[in-house]
């Protein structure tokens, strides 16, 4: 049985669930944006970021980092995860889980490592780069989004390896945000670093919203699930009541579906059944509470639906590889899970 059950009175529509779920998951992974580089490359040039950051560079101590490159002027070639694109002024390149990537123009004698060409600039934390052969210039402003995402959290891991968004004509909010980022970098005024961080977060959220709106029929992953009437309604319940004593039967009953359809849709879109998804979401919430509150482990466990500290600790370690106590001691800031 794979038909879509009808919407029933009292159950949220996709329009109700999508934005709320997106906001909740973004809060849970603790986004922190920043601009880390303003650069001018002149033709010919070639630069590679090996994703092994030198200890001197801005991102060497960050945890989960997604990269954004805004092309301010000029054009060049950009390659990541085996995909090559020509990018030009107005393009925003987003790498959700960046591995090594490179960009170039012309035929440079060598490809430089990114750590070779950056140096501290006028804004604390924002480095500068001037590099190349002296020809036509390409200007970039580069930022990152840091998060406390785990391997099982859905935001970045269900996205393509590289997204290129054209910001020119993309809408008033994106265009005004891009313009303000460029202006703030040029001013280098007191407080610019903090303002740039908030602007980069806003740009990222708008990029996500556009990505969700464009999801094609038949796509899978967490964002596609927001457009599915069965899975979106189930996610609404699990996210709003994570500590509930949920069974597949009860979730299906509450959303007006069958157990078979619910399991099929979850597995097709998210690659896991509802209860396994719920376990991961509970641990994500618990990790944030351990970091942000003084509640003891038993209180945190109860808040996400565990009756005993032992059961919670086993589940936490199974999914993260470390105990709740160690997570709290380290504050989740320097661990690679």
Model pTM score = 0.76
Domain of residue 315: give its range: 14-23+221-330
Structure-model confidence comparison of residues 3 and 91, the more confident one: 91
Give me the CATH number covering residue 42: 2.60.120.10
| 170 shares a domain with 76 | yes
User: What mean pLDDT comes out for the span 5-23?
Assistant: 46
| 209 shares a domain with 232 | no
| 38 shares a domain with 149 | yes
Cα gap 200→309, rounded to integer Å: 39
Measured CA angle at 329 (ends 324, 335), to 5 deg: 80
Return the percentage of the chain with pLDDT > 70, whole number. 85
β-sheet bridge partners, residue 118: 129
pLDDT of residue 250 exceeding 70:
yes
Residue 330: C-alpha distances to residues 27, 84, 263 (Å): 20, 39, 37
Q: Is residue 1 part of a domain?
A: no
**Alpha carbon 210 to chain centroid, angstroms:** 14
| 74 shares a domain with 194 | yes
| 189 shares a domain with 42 | yes
The total domain count for the chain is 2
| 270 shares a domain with 248 | yes
User: What mean pLDDT comes out for the span 53-79?
Assistant: 73
Q: What is the mean pLDDT of the chain?
A: 84
What are the pLDDT digits (tens) for 306-317?
A: 999 999 999 999
β-sheet bridge partners, residue 71: 140
What are the pLDDT digits (tens) for 269-318?
A: 988 999 999 998 899 889 888 988 899 999 999 999 999 999 999 999 99
- pLDDT at res. 23: 78
Give me the CATH number covering residue 322: 1.10.10.60
């Amino acid at each position: 049985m794979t038909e879509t059950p009808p919407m029933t009175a009292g159950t949220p529509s996709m329009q109700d669930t999508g934005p709320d779920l997106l906001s909740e998951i973004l809060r849970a992974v603790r986004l922190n944006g920043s601009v880390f580089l303003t650069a001018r490359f002149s033709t010919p040039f070639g630069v590679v970021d090996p994703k092994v950051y030198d200890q001197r560079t801005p991102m060497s101590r960050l945890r989960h980092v997604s990269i954004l490159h805004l092309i301010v002027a000029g054009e060049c070639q950009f390659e990541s995860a085996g995909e090559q694109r020509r990018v030009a002024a107005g393009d925003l390149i987003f790498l959700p889980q960046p591995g090594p990537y490179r960009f170039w123009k012309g035929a440079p004698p060598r490809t430089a490592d990114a750590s070779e060409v950056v140096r501290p600039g006028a804004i604390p934390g924002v480095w500068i780069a001037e590099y190349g052969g002296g020809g036509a210039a390409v200007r970039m402003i580069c930022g990152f989004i840091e998060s406390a995402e785990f391997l099982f959290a859905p935001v970045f891991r269900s996205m393509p390896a590289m997204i290129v968004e054209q910001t020119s004509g993309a809408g008033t909010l994106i265009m005004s945000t891009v313009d303000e980022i460029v202006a703030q970098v040029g001013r280098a005024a007191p407080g610019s670093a903090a303002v740039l961080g908030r602007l980069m977060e806003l740009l990222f959220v708008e990029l996500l919203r556009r990505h969700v709106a464009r999801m094609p029929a038949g796509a899978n992953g967490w964002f596609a699930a927001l457009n599915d009437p069965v899975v979106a309604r189930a996610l609404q319940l699990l996210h709003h009541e994570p500590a509930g004593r949920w069974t597949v039967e009860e979730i299906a009953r509450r959303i007006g579906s069958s157990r078979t359809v619910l399991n099929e849709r979850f597995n097709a879109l998210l690659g896991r059944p509802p209860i396994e998804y719920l376990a991961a979401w509970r641990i994500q919430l618990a990790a944030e509470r351990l970091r942000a509150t003084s509640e003891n482990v038993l209180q945190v466990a109860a808040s996400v639906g565990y009756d005993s500290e032992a059961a919670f600790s086993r589940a936490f370690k199974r999914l993260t590889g470390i105990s709740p106590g160690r997570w709290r001691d380290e504050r989740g800031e320097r661990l690679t899970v």
